[in-house]
Amino acid sequence: MLNESINAIIDSGMKYLIADLQKLIRQPSISAKNEGMNDCARLVAQLMENAGLQTELLTLDKQGDNKKKDIPPVVFGEVRSKAHPNSKTLLFYNHYDVQPVEPVELWKEDPFSGKVKGDRIYGRGSTDDKGELITRVKAVEFLLKKYGDLPCNIKFVVEGEEEIGSVHIRKYLLKYKHKFASDNVIWEFGYVDSSGRPIISLGMKGLLYVELVAKGPFRDVHSSLAVLIENPAWRLVQALSSLRSKNGKILIEDWYKEVQQFTREELELVSNEPFDEQEFREQYGQEKFVNNIRGNETKKALVGMPTCNIAGLISGYTGKGPKTILPSTALAKLDFRLVPDMDPKTQFNRLKTHLERNGFGDLIEIGFIHGERPYRTPIGNPMLTLVKDSAAEAFGTNPIISISSSGTGPMHSFATILSAPCVSVGSTYIFSRMHSPNEFARIDLLNKATKCMANIIERFGSVRK
């Protein structure tokens, strides 16, 4: 073993990596429905123990019992370097929860099958985030097998609420600030584009998630009464249509007030990002984009444009056939992506004021579901070079540097509470159907990502405090 290169060890260990990923996929862990969370946390801890990490299931309350509030535990894992116990510490942030599987009828296999077909493993979480997690656990396992030690200290923080907006990670970070103490964070996900180039991302958008509920008559009533009774679905439609123009502009007063303009350096990085519009359009069946944007504008939008999105809409009768009712309620789920320096609570208050001014104040009574602040690690951070070199070697091609992902995560909390700059490393195929039916992971990329993680740990170990 000691004579083999780490890459050769990883190659010959892929069958174990796949088998462990299948175990993870086969254990449902849907945070939105609180399904299987504790079982999955225990499974993650077990796989990490097998890899050589010391693990703990952490909870928020003193009794070590999160059950009252149904808060999933955080799986914490640690390996201290024997040779260099005072070396720097690298923290891997991941999550074991997955998105709901609906619409379930569009899945070709059981969403929890973990079925391997050719170079793909199918199932909810195969990419997001169980696929990412397993490459990191295995990188540690294979390095420990080869050397019997690591060149630096490694920590894992694996949470169970990422898909519902990491609602308690900030509290976990504050409570376990010393346990989690580290110098840098490798973020939970990162994409590889369709040309096989890994994307290194330095930031994440923020999020404001709200529900608008319009209430009508006590119960659904016969629709002939629509001459007199106001239909809550109409009120919801009117409220929604006041929020956003056809070209995607958010019409709420002061919505863009704190949006930072790109610096010249940032703009250069954005312009250098390759983005295959044609490929992207084909993947998603789109003839054109919102507001007909093209070229560099699409890249700027992905990195830095705030959005107002309807994630869900329901009212009245939605079954087969023509039922003639006037519904008693109408619900919309909205997610707003935020960019630096927008603050979710400020934006929520602006939304609230907008609705009140337009006569829809009642729709947002209990509307604030979740907020997450946006964050960007500065371009000059030395971790960027280290990660870039590691990825270039593992993937055999120059990585792309992005100043921000278009997605959202609690990067702001990690970066500020731990004072540890965060970097996201390209690992998984960008069109893996994350959050959609038939999600899959590419086995070739699981292999390369594992090598990349091993490279990062080795390089990180050579940087002394």
Instruction: Tell which positions 58-77 bind a second copy, by CB under 8 A.
Output: none
Task: Please give the radius of gyration of the chain, using alpha carbons only, rounded to the nearest integer.
Answer: 23
Instruction: Say how many residues touch a second copy, by CB under 8 A.
Output: 88
Asked if residue 102 binds a second copy (CB under 8 A), the reply is: yes
* From candidates 27, 182, 402, 408, binder to a second copy by CB under 8 A: 408
Q: Is 314 a residue that touches a second copy (CB under 8 A)?
A: yes
Q: Is 116 among the residues that bind a second copy (CB under 8 A)?
A: no
DSSP 262: P
Nearer to a second copy among residue 181 and residue 290 (C-beta): 290
Give the nearest distance from C-beta 199 to a second copy in angstroms: 13
**Binding of a second copy by 406 (CB under 8 A):** yes
Closer residue to a second copy (CB): 130 or 388 = 130
CB environment 338-367: b (16+ within 10 A), e (fewer):
bbbebbbebbbebbbebbeeeebeebbeeb
- Choose, by CB under 8 A, the member of 80, 120, 179, 433 that binds a second copy: 433
CB of 328 to a second copy, least distance (A): 9
Q: Does 222 bind a second copy (CB under 8 A)?
A: yes
Nearer to a second copy, 230 or 253 (CB): 230
User: How many C-beta neighbours within 10 Å does residue 7 have?
Assistant: 17
* Region from 75-83, 191-199, 326-334, 455-463 binding a second copy, contact rule CB under 8 A: 326-334
* 80 touches a second copy (CB under 8 A): no
Smallest gap from residue 293 Cβ to a second copy (A)? 7
Using CB under 8 A as the binding rule, whether residue 307 contacts a second copy is answered as yes
Which of the residues 225 through 284 are near a second copy (CB under 8 A)? 225-231, 233-234, 236-238, 240-241, 244, 246, 248, 280, 284
Residue 36, phi-psi category: left (phi > 0), alpha (psi -120 to 50), beta (remainder):
left
Of positions 289, 341, 346, 393, contacts a second copy by CB under 8 A: 289
Residue whose token pair is 């003193």: 62
Long-range contact list for 255-261, CB < 8 A, 24+ apart? 255/306, 255/347, 255/350, 256/306, 258/341, 258/342, 258/343, 258/346, 259/304, 259/306, 259/339, 259/340, 259/341, 259/342, 260/339, 260/340, 260/341
Tell me: does residue 361 bind a second copy (CB under 8 A): no
| Cβ closest to a second copy, residue 77 vs residue 426 | 426
Residues 153-212 close enough to bind a second copy by CB under 8 A = 163-165, 205, 207, 209
Rule CB under 8 A: is residue 456 a binding residue for a second copy?
no
Contacts of 343-350 spanning 24+ positions with Cβ under 8 A:
343/206, 343/258, 343/373, 344/206, 344/207, 344/208, 344/370, 344/371, 344/372, 344/373, 345/371, 346/258, 347/208, 347/255, 348/208, 348/210, 350/252, 350/253, 350/254, 350/255
Q: According to the binding rule CB under 8 A, does residue 38 interact with a second copy? A: no
Q: Which of 304, 206, 203 is nearest to 262 (CA)?
A: 304
